[in-house]
Amino acid sequence: MDRYRPIFHFTPRRNWMNDPNGPFHLNGEYHLFYQHNPFLPEWGDIHWGHATSPDLVNWTRKPIALTPSRELGEWHCYSGCAVIDGDEVKLFYSSIGRDERNATTGAQQWMAKSKDLQAWQKPVSNPLLTSELHGDVQITEWRDPFVWKDVDGWKMIVGGIHEGKGCAFLYHSDDLESWSYQGIFHRGEEWIWECLHLFRFGEKTVLFYSPSAQVRYITGTINADGALEADYRGTADYAGFEGYYASSGFVDEQGRCVLLGWMPEGRGEDFPEPAEWAGALALPRLVSLNADGSIRMSPLPELSQLRGERQAWDNVRLGAAPVDAGMRSNTFECALELEGAGGASGAVTLSVLQSPCGRERTDIVVDFSGDRIVIDRSQSSLFLNTHKTPVEGKLPSGARDSLELRIFVDRSTVEVFANEETCLSARVYPSLADSDGIQIRSDGEVLLKNWQVWAMNSAAIG
């Protein structure tokens, strides 16, 4: 048994996965595509894997959707999106080759389509977009198209670099085949932007992007020129490559804005146990918009179907002596509410994946004095090379008065939701078989108003 493979996160049966691509919901069935190397558990030879689900919890792996067309000079099918167009679904993606078709200066945007959602055909009209569209505008690392229907036709944004900064570039089409360049949708401050996607909330637009660091978002209004004017900037997850990257989003048939992300591995060099797979899908999140432009992110409600044994406490005064959860598990959900930390200068620490001997544990630290929340991995594993740097985020507003945490642990994954405002994720690899304890303690007196822990059952992933 692979003791690090999650039981309620989607993973490839074997070999490599990274970015989630082109998710959509059609006729009651969810579809997920993902960057996939079907031959090795490492990046390379990128195809599009495919899976379906009735509920975003239980998954069925499908045959590979997109394979590089070597005969056409294509070596990788990079990230992209899906569009439901009448009785067809069309996949838009970045086609990468070698030499003059390299990812830095030679990317092209291609399309594949299907009516049965099993056999995907690449039309002879490919490439749909090439860098020649830009004229004298110099763009590099041009990739990851995202397409949506607007009042005046189809719009597409693609990420890339222009004049040393990451940008989103805007395109227009009447028929999803012929595209024109419209200009810069938004110019960033980071050196690169990739994996762009957006949600629309009335007149407001929330643009997500991955800048080779923490996934970020911008809330704003699209002006008369089609560009996004920013009102608010935020962080979707503080992990970056340590636990959450390359987000993708879609609106399901219930009208919910669903956010997906990739959880990279953090095994490090010379990992002592064999692993035939790499990469996991982060738990789906529902996104809503606050009046100030910030977003709320909550775990998918359907996950509650996996809850098993439950332990619960009410109105516990926390102090230096740890309070034990009353169960041991490395696959669980935890919900807790803290109150009365207004004047606290210390921290509340929830230790998970803790060994009885005390040599291993992962700490989720609510640091009131530092106005931060941290996944402390410094003692997460006795393996020397696993990633152990902390994942740190800003403590949510109002946390000193009341803080609600939702925490999901699934063997090697840790995901934290704080007041549905701050999200942190991480990968951990305990070496000891009995690193499955759960305890909570505090430097000062804080009221643990409510604490529930559920052992989580396996999702059906086949």
pLDDT in tens, 273-310: 989 999 999 999 999 999 999 999 999 999 999 999 99
The whole-number pLDDT of residue 345 equals: 67
**Residue 415: predicted pLDDT:** 99
Cα distance between residue 114 and residue 384, in whole Å: 47
> Using CA atoms, how far apart are residues 100 and 96, in angstroms rounded to an integer?
10
E strand or H helix at 447, and its extent? strand 446-456
Q: Which residue has the higher pLDDT, 430 or 342?
A: 430
Task: Give the pLDDT score at 96.
Answer: 98
Computed from CA positions of residues 130, 136, 139, 145, in that sequence, does the dihedral angle turn out positive or negative? negative
- In 3D, which of 128, 156, 131 has the Cα closest to residue 142? 131
Query: For the purposes of burial, counting CB atoms within 10 Å of the CB of 118, is it exposed (0-12), middle (13-18) or buried (19 or more)?
Result: exposed
Amino acid identity for residue 450 in this structure? N
Quickly tell me which residue has 């989630």 as its tokens: 20
Residue in 417, 419, 395, 420 with CA at minimum distance from that of residue 406: 417
Can you tell me the mean pLDDT for 422-430? 98
Q: What is the dihedral of CA 340, 407, 376, 461, to 10 degrees?
A: 180
- pLDDT for the residue 346: 80
pLDDT in tens, 329-340: 999 999 999 987
CA gap 194, 167 in Å, rounded? 9
The CA distance from 163 to 165, in Å, is: 6
Which letter does DSSP use for residue 395 in this model? P
Question: Alpha-carbon torsion 247, 378, 407, 204, what sign?
Answer: negative
The pLDDT value given to residue 445: 84
- pLDDT value at position 343? 58
The radius of gyration of the chain from alpha carbons, rounded to an integer in Å, stands at 22
For residue 366, what are the β-bridge partners? 348, 373
Cα–Cα distances in Å, from 310 out to 139, 364, 427? 54, 20, 24
**Long-range Cβ contacts of 358-367 (<8 Å, 24+ apart):** 359/432, 360/430, 360/431, 360/432, 360/435, 361/435, 361/437, 362/414, 362/426, 362/428, 362/430, 364/405, 364/407, 364/414, 364/416, 366/338, 366/341, 366/395, 366/399, 366/403, 366/405, 366/418, 367/395
Q: Is the pLDDT of residue 314 over 90?
A: yes
382: its two tokens = 């006795």
- Residues 6 or more apart in contact with residue 266 via CB below 8 angstroms: 242, 243, 386, 387, 426, 427, 428, 429
How crowded is residue 213: how many other Cβ atoms within 10 Å of its Cβ? 15
Q: How far apart are CA 380 and CA 80, in angstroms?
A: 35
The correct CATH number of 303-456 out of 2.60.120.560, 3.40.640.10, 1.10.760.10, 1.10.3110.10 is 2.60.120.560
What distance in Å separates the CA atoms of residue 335 and residue 412, rounded to the nearest whole number?
Answer: 19
- Cβ 108 vs Cβ 102: under 8 Å: no
Neighbours of 225 (CB within 10 A): 11
- Is the per-residue pLDDT at 341 higher than 80? no
Across residues 58-64, what is the average pLDDT?
98
Name the segment(s) of the chain with CATH classification 2.115.10.20. 15-299
Q: What is the pTM of this model?
A: 0.97
pLDDT for 447 equals 93
Q: For position 123, what pLDDT does the model report?
A: 97
What number of residues does the chain have? 462
pLDDT value at residue 330? 98
Integer angstrom CA distances of residue 224 from 155, 180, 202, 227: 14, 17, 16, 7
Question: Spelled out in words, what is the top-level CATH class assigned to the domain 15-299?
Answer: mainly beta
User: Dihedral sign, CA of 6, 10, 15, 19?
Assistant: negative
Residues 6+ apart with CB under 8 A from 246: 18, 19, 20, 79, 194, 195, 210, 215, 261, 262
| DSSP string across 27-52 | TTEEEEEEEEESSSSSS-S-EEEEEE
Tokens representing 155 are: 């719009």
What is the residue-averaged pLDDT of the chain?
A: 97
**How far, in Å, CA of 396 to CA of 72, rounded?**
50
8-state DSSP, 13: S
- State the average pLDDT over residues 187-215: 98
Range list for CATH 2.60.120.560 in the chain: 303-456
Tokens 């590089």, residue? Answer: 68
SS3 70: helix
Instruction: Specify the pLDDT at position 381.
Output: 98
* Residues forming beta bridges with residue 76, ordered by sequence position: 96
SS3 content of the chain, % helix, strand, coil (to 5): 5, 55, 40
d(CA 192, CA 165): 6
